[in-house]
Chains A and B, each alone.
Chain A
Amino acid sequence: MNTILKTQGLNKVYSLGSFPRTIKVQALDDINLDIESDQPVIVSLVGESGSGKTTLAKVILRLVQPSSGAVTVAGHTVAGKGTRPNHNEFLRTVQPIFQNPFEAFSQHRTVDSYLRETAERVGKLHKDAAIQAVEEALAAVGLQYSDVRGKYPNQFSGGELQRASVARALIPRPQLIVADEPVSMIDASRRMIIINLFMALKEEYRTSFLYITHDLATAYYISDYIAVMNKGRIVEFGDAKQVLSQPQHEYTQLLLDSIPRLNSRWVERRNPTTG
Chain B
Amino acid sequence: MIRLDNIVATYTTQRGQVNAVDGVTLEIPDSIVMGIAGESGCGKSTLMKVLYGDIGFPLSLSSGSVDYGLVNERGEPVTTDNIRSEWFRHISYIPQSSMSSLNPVVRIRDQFVDFPATAGRKKEVLAQVRDFVQKLGLPPESIDAYPHQLSGGMRQRIMVAMATFFQPEIILADEPTTALDVVVQKSILLLLLDLQKEMRNTIMLVSHDMGVHYQITDKMLIMYAAKVVEYADTDDIFQSPLHPYTLMLTNSLPTIGDERARRGLPGSPPSLWEPQVGCRFAARCPIAADRCRQEEPPLTEYQRGHFSACHFAGDVAALKESMQAGPSLSEVAHDTSKLMLDLEADR
Interface positions of A (Cβ within 8 A of B):
47-49, 141-143, 157-160, 163, 187-197, 199-200, 203-204, 214, 216-218, 220-221, 244-245, 254-263, 265-267, 269-274
Contact = CB atoms under 8 A, between A and B. Distances in A.
A51 to B, nearest CB: 8
Interface stretch (B51-59, B160-168, B204-212): B204-212
Given A193-B346, A217-B253, A255-B183, A142 B233 contact: no
B305 interface: yes
A212 to B, nearest CB: 13
The interface residues of chain A, by DSSP majority, are classed as helix
A266 B40 CA distance: 27
B193 A193 contact: no
A192 B256 contact: no
A178 to B, nearest CB: 20
B333 interface: yes
A259 B211 contact: yes
A192 B258 CA distance: 15
B190 A266 contact: yes
A199 B339 contact: yes
B209 A217 contact: no
Given A158-B40, A262-B211, A269-B216, 9 more contacts: A159-B346, A192-B253, A195-B262, A203-B339, A258-B183, A261-B214, A261-B255, A269-B33, A269-B234
Given A189-B249, A262-B210, A271 B233 contact: yes
Given A142-B346, A197-B339, A259-B256, A214 B181 contact: yes
B347 interface: yes
B344 interface: yes
Given A192-B263, A193-B264, A199-B333, A160 B304 contact: no
A192 B252 contact: yes
Contact of A191 (B185, B217, B253): B253
B233 A274 contact: yes
Q: Which of B210, B265, B343 has the most CB of A within 10 A?
A: B343
Given A49-B184, A260-B209, A271-B235, A265 B214 contact: yes
24 contacts: A48-B181, A49-B152, A49-B181, A142-B343, A163-B343, A187-B208, A188-B249, A191-B252, A191-B253, A193-B346, A195-B262, A196-B340, A199-B333, A203-B336, A217-B255, A220-B257, A255-B183, A260-B189, A260-B212, A263-B255, A266-B189, A269-B217, A271-B233, A271-B235
A254 B181 CA distance: 11
A221 B254 CA distance: 7
Of B189, B262, B266, B334, most buried by chain A (CB within 10 Å of CB) is B262
Contacts of B232: 273
Nearest to B177: A260
Given A49-B152, A188-B253, A261-B255, A272 B347 contact: no
A195 B265 CA distance: 13
B249 A142 contact: no
A245 B256 contact: yes
B181 to A, nearest CB: 4
Contacts of B180: 49
B319 interface: no
B155 to A, nearest CB: 12
A202 B215 CA distance: 35
Nearest to A205: B336
A200 B186 CA distance: 34
Contacts, number: 165
Contacts of B185: 258, 260
A260 B214 contact: yes
Contacts of B233: 271-274
B268 A157 contact: yes
Contacts of B312: none
A99 B186 CA distance: 24
A196 B340 CA distance: 7
A199 B253 CA distance: 15
B190 A192 contact: no
B157 interface: no
Contacts of A272: 29, 32, 218-219, 233, 305
A262 B238 contact: yes
A217 B37 CA distance: 19
B289 interface: no
Interface string B192-214: 01000000000000001111101
A243 to B, nearest CB: 11
Nearest to B207: A260
A6 B263 CA distance: 33
B211 A196 contact: no
B136 to A, nearest CB: 17
B210 A200 contact: no
A218 B253 contact: yes
Given A187-B40, A245-B256, A273-B306, A192 B262 contact: yes
A225 to B, nearest CB: 15
